[in-house]
Homo-oligomer: A and B are copies of this chain.
Amino acid sequence: MHPGNGAEGPLTPGLVFEMLQAHQRTAALKAAIDLDLFRAVGEGPGDVASIARHCKCSERGIRILCDFLTITEVLVKEDGRYRHSPTSAAFLDPRSPMSLASIAQFLSNPANREPYDHLAEIVRTGRTTLAGDGSVEPENPIWVQFAETMAPMMAPMAGPLGATVLEGRTGPMRVLDIAAGHGLFGIEIAKQNPQAQVTGLDWAPVLRVALDNAQKAGVQERYDMIPGSAFEVDFKGPYDAVLLTNFLHHFDQPTCVALLKKVHAALKAGGRVATLEFVPNEDRVSPRMAASFSMTMLASTPAGDAYTLSELTAMYTAAGFSNITAHPIPMSPHTIVLGSA
């Protein structure tokens, strides 16, 4: 999507034009998901008339939308018919077990989208234009939606996270999952270690989603819950491990250090904390997906950020942790950072 402007090409305004129209890409993918277009493409035969019938849409609209999705490399067009690309077959057809269609609901939630209509003001003031503390406002209902819809995006990370935290450790242990959300990370620990007792901590309405998932996984007998704010509730330690997934990035560094100290105090000696984070390189502009996440934090929080490993290490150290190690998860923008109490 960067026409021209490569070292190899002549100078053209293609990149500028493409960026000013990039919002069309988001709208097109969201519309296609909402219209059940990817099921229609998967079922075939893939001509405009059949897809339009399935989606109860105009042929003009379907033709132009499918052409646009072909241009953006989501679909493949051949002899006037559309079929899945490997990407759409795996991640967009609702019949696929890896379907990510539900994450569009969270990412296009007005609470997540609206700040971008005021981005200049956000850059000016340095904080979200959302009311209160934005996405980290207490009891913000978006986290129920996150728990309900973003699980498919996070599920592939659960296995590697569980293995990294446990490192083959068996036997009785207690694990606290802070900001549990969908609960998948703590549940994975319970699955990998049949003697692990897991405590999920999150807002009460969110924990209902985690409990549902614990029941589906058959580990609800070993799944306890602490409803409330991680900054306010008693953690009820001591624990062998504390998971702190996709959470630190919402807050400024002093807030993170204070929370990490509270985590440290809730761990047994030698117990470990494990964060799952978007960790950009020290240049803050690579890798692309992890580094881009700072923009999401600028738009939606008062002071959050995608922290570099040196920043996370400094915070861990300030909170009393040692043996700090980073474990990037292959094929994902996430990194696990471990520390020992």
Contact = CB atoms under 8 A, between A and B. Distances in A.
A100 B23 contact: no
A131 interface: no
A135 to B, nearest CB: 15
- How many monomers of this chain does the complex have? 2
Interface in A1-51: 1-5, 10-31, 34-35
Contacts of A4: 331
Interface stretch (A103-111, A170-178, A221-229, A259-267): A103-111
Nearest to A62: B123
Range for the number of chain A residues in contact with chain B: 35 or more
A23 B21 contact: no
Given A86-B11, A90-B11, A73 B2 contact: yes
A283 interface: yes
Given A11-B86, A24-B116, A72 B19 contact: yes
A120 B73 CA distance: 20
Given A30-B119, A57-B123, A285 B77 contact: yes
Q: Report the 4 A-B pairs with minimum CB-CB distance, sorted nearest first.
A: A58-B126, A61-B123, A27-B116, A22-B25
Interface of A: 1-5, 10-31, 34-35, 55-65, 67-68, 70-74, 77, 85-87, 90-92, 98, 100, 103-104, 107-108, 113, 116-117, 119-120, 122-127, 153, 283-286, 288-289, 291-292, 294-299, 303, 305, 331-332
Given A5-B85, A23-B26, 19 more contacts: A5-B87, A10-B331, A11-B87, A13-B90, A16-B103, A17-B100, A17-B153, A19-B25, A20-B107, A23-B27, A34-B120, A35-B120, A55-B124, A58-B125, A60-B298, A65-B123, A67-B294, A68-B292, A77-B284
